Structure 1
């Protein structure tokens, strides 16, 4: 292999890369989102500075992605916390549980998505939209929503999905000390909302040592949405380098 050939490689193994180069286009990406109020003290323990917690609200999401260029078919679930950064309101993406290794590897390596292995599902059970997350063989989250009970304004759905998202990029060096320690920002801008609905919803979180979603307890369900989209993820940009500040 020539040096110029190696410079064009994105990831390893060299002869069978873990994922292909993006951007990734999502067709019929479906969201079930439950927004809930939680204990503000629990948020303070997991939100890093310079982000600020304004409202003690969390979004639990299950995202069904049946058609993704380069990545195929997979599902994600996770929690995002309402925050502010230098006057801009957005969300801190705390954790994502994913059932696809290429999606995990590309999300972590190309971006800063906090992905780890899990078993999320999004299904319709009779008249109910159901999102679940299992970690190993144990259930850690169950979300239910009345199926398409009422239309949701497309602009409201777009605003919900296109808010600024902040994430941590943490990578150690070979000596065990931090090599990358950054706060990054990303935002979805290329999106088509193909359908949006709301309805009654409930969310149960179950305690687990390695999937601690229940550490942000559900005190009150505030809103729920079911949104069908086509979209392309935006790039990630560094907004704060912890190693230089």
Structure 2
């Protein structure tokens, strides 16, 4: 595989499993030195060991993205041994087991936790890493295609992911003067740890509404992240890109 990211350091949050790990693995395979920023020490260590066993350059750093001090420490460690960061994927967020409650059944505690992790956490991560980035770097924020069709019983989640799109556009304007690109990825329903509990009938219903009628796999998405990290997208910024087999079109 082409080593187009050789010599580049990229931070991927929530990279201990699922799509986050898939992004980290793809970037490593293309030559990047990847920081696996993960809250769960067991998952983070396992992800690091898995990649290193294949001769890939990865390092696990524990982080709670909702904590200002934790994010600052992660950023400090990520910068060690290099003169700057080249890329950031803000994949970490709260998604597992968040559905099932209607708008009037949600508690303020659950709502606030969702915003603290998905919205504040994304902002804190960018705020800590962007000043360390080399000019011309790339940031990929991660939202969800649910913002286009308004998934029911997921109001807090959809709202948090909608906020990330707006955040991306403002960040793109602010960081553009340093030629740092900021784009937003919107994955659709994807096979992985976060979707293990979804009933088969929902998978089938989703697939029938896609233009490409099959289940979405992690490798359907990680190539898009690599594209947005690469020089092939060097004049693309402030954009949202849904990767969901045509379930949504915008």
Looking at secondary structure, tell me which structure has more helix per residue: 2
**With structure 2 as the length reference, what TM-score do the two structures score?**
0.27
Structure of higher CA gyration radius: 1
Q: Whose strand proportion is higher, 1 or 2?
A: 1
Higher normalized contact order (CA 8 Å, seq sep 6+, divided by chain length): 1
